[in-house]
Amino acid sequence: MPSLIADLLDRLDSERRNEFEERAGTIEFDSRVPRDEAEAYALIDLLRSHPAALVGITALEVDHDGETETVITTDLDMVDRHFGRESLAHIVDLADVVRIHFGGLAVTHVARAAEKRADLTGFELRE
């Protein structure tokens, strides 16, 4: 695997990495191209469908208790723990979240938590 692709793949979460591996295998087998080429195509395809995949931040809309909440996370497992696996979530474009919900600029206010992790306490909209 070319070093550049390997470095990029290290940034993917496990779900995106599995998606990449499946797509690369399909392209390699169906198109009969070398594995390196199939992986390059698979990465391009992954970024087409998940443009923020390499950023390490995922924006989700989560349906929970009859309401839809927008969540921004670096840890999808934490979303499951917080909302429960029964909640339905789908990935949304982070740029759309900022544009639609915050008018193009989201400024966070963070409080220090006792367990040394940041809890989001609010957003401020600036025009």
Residue 34 has a CB neighbour count (10 Å cut-off) of 10
Residue ranges of the domains in the chain? 3-49, 58-125
DSSP string across 101-125: HHTT-EEEEEEEPTTS-EEEEEEEE
pTM: 0.55
Q: What is the mean pLDDT of the chain?
A: 81
Which of helix, strand or coil describes residue 85?
Answer: coil
* pLDDT at 119 exceeding the cut of 50: no
Categorize the per-residue pLDDT at 53 as very low, low, confident or very high, splitting at 50, 70 and 90: confident
- The pLDDT-based confidence of 27 (bands split at 50, 70, 90) is very high
pLDDT tens track for 56-93? 788 888 888 888 889 888 887 888 888 887 778 888 88
When pLDDT is cut at 50, 70 and 90, the band that residue 118 belongs to is very low
